Structure 1
Amino acid sequence: MAVLRIRGLALPEGDPVDLYADGDRWTSDPVPGADLVAEGWILPGLVDAHTHPGANTPGDPLDDGILRDDLRAHLESGVTLIRSPGLADDPPDWFGRSDDSPRAFHAGRWIAQHGQFAPGWGRRPDPADLPAVAAEQAARTGWAKIVIDWKAGDDIVPVEILREAVTRVHAAGGRLAVHSQHGAGGAVAVEAGVDSIEHGMGLDPALLSRMAEQGTALTPTLAAITGSLARTLANPDRARTSWYVPGASVHARLTAAAVEAGVTVLAGTDTRPHGGIAQEIRALVTAGVTPHRAIAAASWAARAYLGLPGLLDGAPADAVVYAADPRTDLSQLDKPSAVIVRGKRVAR
C-alpha cells in the first residue's frame, strides 16, 4: 500500500507542511513513491466533543447499524475524533478503532439521580454511591459523566458528593464531565472542580475566571441550544412558561465570554443527524467568537485538551484538508477536499 502524503498550509500557524503517513503517525521525512492525496489548507482532524451516536431517540438501546452510520457521518464531515459523554450502552470493541470510526473517548452510560434523565438510559445509583460508580467508569474508559441537574426544581447533586466524585475519578486516572443546564448546578460543578461542564446553560459569568484557573472546560452545544430556543419561541404559550428561555437566550453571550475569559471551550453538537460540527463552529462565530478560536474549539485546541497533538512528527495521522482557508470562508467547512484518519483517506 502506498504511503499517503499531504502538503499545504497547516493551522493553527499557517506554516507550510509536507507530511507523510507512516502507518498511523505523521512524519515530515520524505517517503519515495508516496501518494499525494491532497493539497490546500490543512487542519488537525476535527473534534466533536459532545455527541451520542448509536440510538435514534432518547431511551433507545444502542444499535450497531445506527452507530456505524452515525460515526461514518462524523468522518465525512471531517471529524476524526469524538468524545461521547454518555452512550446508550457500552460500545462494541471496534468503536473508535475501525476504519469506519473516528478515534473516540467515551464515558459509558450516563450516571443520574433517581427519577431524573431519559427513561431507559443511564445508571441511577444511590447518591452516596455516585463517586464510586463514577470512579469505576473512569477507570475503564478514562471519562465518567454525571447528570447533576435535570428539570427545573429537581434536586441537584450535593457539592460534597460531586467533590468526592472528582477526587475519586482523578485518583482512578480519569476525568469527570457533568451535564448542567441550571445556574445552581453550574455553581456546584465549578465549586467541585469538575473537568468539563456540558451545556452550561444558566452558568453565572462570574464563575468563568475560576473555571479558567482550575481548568474546567465548557462544551456549550451552542447550535443545539439556540435551535431549541427558536422552536420554543415559535410557540408563544410555551415560551411564556418555559424554564428554558432565560438561560438559552443568553447562552451565546455566555459562550463568547467564556472564550474571552480563557476557559477551554470545546465544540460539541449533541444532535441528530450526526456530522454537524460545521454548524457548531458557525454558531460560535455568530456568538462573537473569532473564526480562528471557533475552529480551534473543534480542532487543535480540542485535540490538545483530549491529549492528542496536532500536525507534528509522531502525532496521530489525522487531518482534514480544505481548498481555501476556512477561517476566511466558513463555507469551506462543508466541503473538505480530503479527510484522513489513522493514515488513511476516508472514501467520500
Structure 2
Amino acid sequence: MTVLRVRGFALPEGEPIDLYADGDRWTRDPVAGAELVAEGWILPGLVDAHTHPGAERPGLPLDADVLREDLRAHLDAGVTLIRAPGLAGDPPEWFGRADDSPRAFHAGPWIAQHGQFMQGWGRRPGLAELPAVAAEQAARTGWAKVVVDWLPDDAVMPVDVLREAVDRVHAVGGRLAVHTQHGAGGSVAVEAGVDSVEHGMGLDFDLLPRMAERGIALTPTLSVITASLAKTLADPEDVRRSWYVPGASAHARLTAAAVEAGVTVLAGTDSRPHGGIAAEVRALATAGVPPHEALAAASWSARSYLGLPGLVDGAVADAVVYATDPRADLGQLDRPRAVIVRGRRVR
C-alpha cells in the first residue's frame, strides 16, 4: 500500500504541517517513497453528525445498495465521519468500515412512544421498558436515539422515563441522543441530562447555559429546517404553520446563541440527497456563527465530541484538503482537492 503524504496548513490552528499516512494513522515522521497527493489547507475530515443513510424515503426498510450510494456521496463531499442517530434497520457489518464508507457511529433504529414517529420506522416499547431498550441499543453501538416529542398534540415523554434512560445508557458506557422539535420536549431533554439534542427547534434560549455546563450538544440541522420553513410559509394550507413557523423562524438565532453560550454545536444535514454538509456549514455562518466555529461544527469540534483527535501523530488517517483557507471562502467546501479516509485517497 502506497504511503500518502499531505502538506500545507492544518486547521484549526493553521500551522504548517507535513503528514504521512502510516496505514490508518498519521505521523509527522517522514516516510521514504511517500506519495504527495495534495497541498493546501488541511482539515481532519468533515463530519455529518445527523444523517440517516440507507432508505430512499421515510418508512422504507434499510437497503444496502442505497446505503452504499449515500455513503459514497458523503465521501465525495469530504465527509469522512458520520453519526446516524436513527437508521431504518440494523446496518450491515461493513457499515463504517469499508474502504468506500466514512467512519460511522450509529444509534440503530429510533425509539419512540406508541402512536408516534414515522410508520414503518423505529421501535415503540412501553414507557416502562423504554430505558432498558435504549440501554441495550447503546451497549451494542455506543448510541441510542429517543424521540421525546412528535406532533404538537402528542404527549411529551415523561422526564422521569427519559432520565432513567439516560442513567441506564450511561451505565453501559453509551450516549443518548433525542429528537425534539417542541419547547416542552427540549426542556425535558435538558432536565434529563441527555447527551445531544437533535434539531432542538423551539428550545428555550434560557436553557443554553445549562446545556453548555452539562456538556449537552445541539445538532440544529439548520439548513433543512430553514428550507422547510420556506415551503411552509409558501403554503397557506400547510397544517404545520401554527407550530412550525414560530420555532423554525427563531432557529437560526437559537443556533447562533448556542455557540455564543458555549454549547457544542454539531453540523448535521438530516436530508436527501446526502453529501450536503457544505450547505449546513454555510447555513450556520448565515445565522451569525463565525466561519471558524461553523467549520469546527463540521470538523474538528465534532470529531472531538465523537472521540476522534485531529491532525496529530497517532490520529486516524482522515483528511480533506482545500486550495485555500475555507474559513475565508466557505465555497471551498464544494471543491476539495483531496479526500483521504483510513490512509487511502477516495477523491
Q: Same fold (TM over 0.5)?
A: yes
**Partner of 1:81: helix, strand, or coil?**
strand
Q: Which residue of 2 aligns with 1:335?
A: 335
Question: Are the equivalent residues in 1 in contact too, given 2:232–2:240 (CA < 8 A)?
Answer: no
Using the TM superposition, give the Cα deviation of residue 229 of structure 1 relative to its aligned residue in structure 2, in angstroms: 0.2
Q: Over residues 88-130 of structure 1, what are the superposed CA-to-partner deviations in whole Å (9 max), with x where a residue is unaligned?
A: 0000000000011000000000000000000000000001111
Deviations 1:221-266 (A, max 9, x none): 0000000000111113327843211100000000000000000000
Counterpart contact for 1:239–1:245, Cα < 8 Å: no
- Which residue of structure 2 lines up, in the alignment, with residue 198 of structure 1? 198
Structure 1 residue identity aligned to 2:209 = S
Aligned residue in 2 for 1:60:
60
Q: Which amino acid aligns with 1:82?
A: I
Q: Give the Cα–Cα distance (whole angstroms) in 2 for the partners of residues 340 and 240 of structure 1.
A: 42
TM-score by length of 1: 0.99
Confirm or deny that 1:148 pairs with 2:175: no
Question: How far apart in 1 are the matches of 2:194 and 2:236?
Answer: 37
* Secondary structure of 1:127's aligned partner: coil
Measure the CA separation in 1 of the matches of 2:88 and 2:251. 27
* Other-structure match for 1:135: 135
Task: Give the Cα separation in 2 of the matches to 1:67 and 1:274.
Answer: 10
Q: Unpaired runs of 5+ in structure 2?
A: none
Q: Distance in 1 between matches of 2:93 and 2:163?
A: 32
Give the deviation of 1:296 after TM superposition: 0.1
Find the counterpart in structure 2 of residue 76 from structure 1: 76
Partners of 2:112 and 2:172 lie apart in 1 by 20
Counterpart residue number, 1:216: 216
SS of residue matched to 1:128: coil
Q: What is the CA distance between 1:59 and its match in structure 2?
A: 0.3
3-state DSSP class of the match of 2:237? helix
What residue is the counterpart of 2:174 in the other structure?
174
- The answer to whether 1:6 aligns with 2:6 is yes
Root mean square deviation of aligned Cα? 0.8
Task: State whether residues 233 and 239 of structure 1, in contact with CA within 8 Å, keep that contact through their aligned partners in structure 2.
Answer: no
Displaced runs of 4 or more, over 4 A: none
- The SS at the match of 2:238 is helix
- TM-score normalized by structure 2? 0.99
Unaligned ranges ≥5, structure 1: none
The separation in 2 between residues aligned to 1:265 and 1:303, in whole angstroms, is: 12
User: Matches of 1:116 and 1:161 in 2, distance apart?
Assistant: 16
| 1:33 partner SS | coil
SS of corresponding position for 2:332? helix
Aligned length: 347
Contact (CA 8 Å) 2:232, 2:241: kept in 1 or not?
no
User: Equivalent residues in 2 for 1:308-323 (5 A)?
Assistant: 308-323=308-323
